[in-house]
Amino acid sequence: MTQPKPDPGFYQKYFRDIDVVHDLQTKPEDREWLLSTPPDDVKQTDIVLYLGCNVLRTTHLIRTVTDIFKKMGVSFASVGGKTYCCGIQHFQRGDEKAGRSVAVSTAANFQKFNPQQVVMWCPSCIYFYDDIMDMRGKSFDFNHVAEFLVDNLDKLDFKPQPETTVALHYHTGREQGDAEARSAQLLLSKLPGVNLIDIGTDIKFGRHCTPATIEKMEPGAWEAMSSSFVEKAVEMGADTYSTLYHGCQRNMCRYEADYPVKVEHYLTLVGRALGIEHEDIHKKHVLSGDVDAIMEETSPCAMANGISPEEARLTIEKNYAKR
């Protein structure tokens, strides 16, 4: 869906909000992912783990996936943030030329690593490089994180966990999206202690849960549809409502306040079965909604990243304050 062309300065504000949220969750010295342009002599690696942009709002997912890759013993480098934008933000706002230029620049950054494969986190990035840029198998080979993990199940030593009934929220309507959903379902089905149930989905959820998808529906329609699937999961006995994408987790984690389920990304469950656990700080702040408490908790990260108290407060109020 093409959105109206943004005002001058839109992209600077858009990416700044992502950066500040990320900076409120992490200190520079704790990051194992590259946010800047790689040097020409960057260390070569078999896999580039391409995080995209918006996953920086849910840093626990970055920590989880990088720890999983380390457990697997694969040679990889993680990259993300605005330097590695795929271009879809520009493209879907009517600036096709800029979107394509950004995509080509990011692809060139991948190639500096001379990887055998690019493993992509974000469904929008896959869509853009696949359907719009037509780069699959031409400029570089890529697949989704869930597909990559399924292809390497022999490297994943899952340990038994307390029994839980899991309903996966997933998306349909595109062949690639269906493949990603099947891969996530297969991964969850392999976890000892997990009873996976299928609650179905609705094509109206779109490619993944984004503000653009929500805004193109009638007021209240997305919320009614979304909450109905959580209610169905509860009725079918689920105690965990698992999300497929980072956007879904950001939008749906708040359901923990209203329904007797945990809302957790599927990789959180996969990581847990591998002994990996990182707190969902985004969910914690959403459920809290207490701006002053969040300010206090995030102040060490803010100071380490040079975020002023004024900008930190404005960002917290925008992203986490109770409405």
Instruction: Note whether 255 and 215 are same-domain residues.
Output: yes
87-113, pLDDT tens digit by residue? 999 998 899 999 999 999 999 999 999
130, 169: one domain: no
Do 208 and 170 contact (CB within 8 A), yes or no? Answer: no
Percent of the chain topping pLDDT 90: 89
State yes or no: pLDDT of 3 exceeds 80.
no
Its pTM stands at: 0.95
Mean pLDDT of the 263-274 span: 98
- Give every CB contact of residue 111 below 8 A, 6+ residues apart in sequence: 139, 140
Element (H, E) at 48: strand 47-50
% of the chain exceeding 70 in pLDDT: 98
Q: For residue range 114-171, list pLDDT tens digits in order.
A: 999 999 999 999 999 999 999 988 888 899 999 999 999 999 999 999 999 999 999 9
41 in a structural domain: yes
Q: What distances in angstroms separate CA 216 from CA 15, 96, 204, 263, one per listed residue?
A: 22, 21, 10, 25
Residue 310: closest CA among 289, 321, 295, 294: 295
290 in any annotated domain: no
pLDDT at 7 over 80: no
Count of alpha carbons within 13 angstroms of residue 117, beta-carbon side: 14
Q: Residue 113's domain is classified under what CATH number?
A: 3.40.50.1860
Picking from 7-21, 29-43, 245-259, which range would have the lowest pLDDT averaged per residue?
Answer: 7-21
pLDDT of residue 140: 83
**Does residue 23 lie within any of the structural domains?**
no
User: Does residue 323 carry a pLDDT above 90?
Assistant: no
Identify the three-state secondary structure at position 176. helix
pLDDT digits (tens, 9 = 90+) for 173-228: 999 999 999 999 999 999 999 999 999 999 999 999 988 888 889 999 999 999 99
pLDDT-derived band of residue 61, with 50, 70 and 90 as boundaries? very high
* Whole-angstrom distance, CA of residue 183 vs CA of residue 177: 10
* 47 and 111 housed in the same domain: yes
Range of the domain at 140: 31-150
Domains in the chain, number: 2
pLDDT of residue 4: 64
Give whole-number Cα distances, 279 to 60, 156, 282, 285, 313, in Å: 6, 21, 9, 11, 22
* pLDDT at residue 312, as a whole number: 98
Three-state DSSP at 180 gives helix
Q: With respect to residue 280, please indicate whether it lies within any of the assigned structural domains.
A: no
pLDDT at 170: 97
